Amino acid sequence: MADTTVKQLAEIVGTPVDRLLQQMQEAGLPQKEEGDAVDEAQKESLLAFLKRAHGETEGGPKKITLKRRTLSTVKAGGSAGRGRTVNVEVRKKRTYVRREQAPPEVETEDAAPVTAPAEPIIEEVVETKPEQLDPEAVRRAAHIAAEKEAEAKRLEAEERAAKAKAEEEAKARKAAQEAAKAGQAKTGESGKEGDDRVSSRGPESGGRVLSHRKTLQIRAPGAQVHREQMLFDLRFT
**What is the b/e burial string over 52-77, where b = at least 16 CB atoms within 10 angstroms of the residue's CB?**
eeeeeeeeeeeeeeeeeeeeeeeeee
Give the pLDDT score at 190.
Answer: 65
Give the pLDDT score at 210.
Answer: 45
Handedness of CA 25, 29, 34, 39 (dihedral sign): negative
Give the pLDDT score at 206.
Answer: 47
Higher pLDDT, 183 or 110: 183
Which of 16-25, 81-90, 152-161, 177-186 shows the lowest mean pLDDT across its residues? 81-90
pLDDT grade for 106, boundaries at 50, 70 and 90: very low
What is residue 215's three-state secondary structure?
helix
* Predicted TM-score (pTM) of this structure: 0.26
Beta strands in 78-143 (DSSP E): 83-97, 105-111
Give the pLDDT score at 64.
Answer: 73
Please give the average per-residue pLDDT across 123-137, as a whole number: 61
The percentage of the chain sitting over the pLDDT mark of 90, rounded to a whole number, equals 14
Q: How far apart (Å, rounded) are the C-alpha atoms in residues 69 and 114?
A: 12
Give the pLDDT score at 134.
Answer: 76
pLDDT grade for 100, boundaries at 50, 70 and 90: low
Please say if the pLDDT value at position 67 is more than 60: yes
| DSSP codes, 22-71 | HHHHHTT----STT-EE-HHHHHHHHHHHHHHTT--TTS-SEEEEEEEEE
Domain segments of the chain as ranges = 1-60, 69-131, 133-200, 203-237
Give the pLDDT score at 154.
Answer: 93
Please say if the pLDDT value at position 201 is more than 50: yes
Residue 76, H or E segment:
strand 63-77
Q: How far apart (Å, rounded) are the C-alpha atoms in residues 116 and 89?
A: 11
What is residue 152's three-state secondary structure?
helix
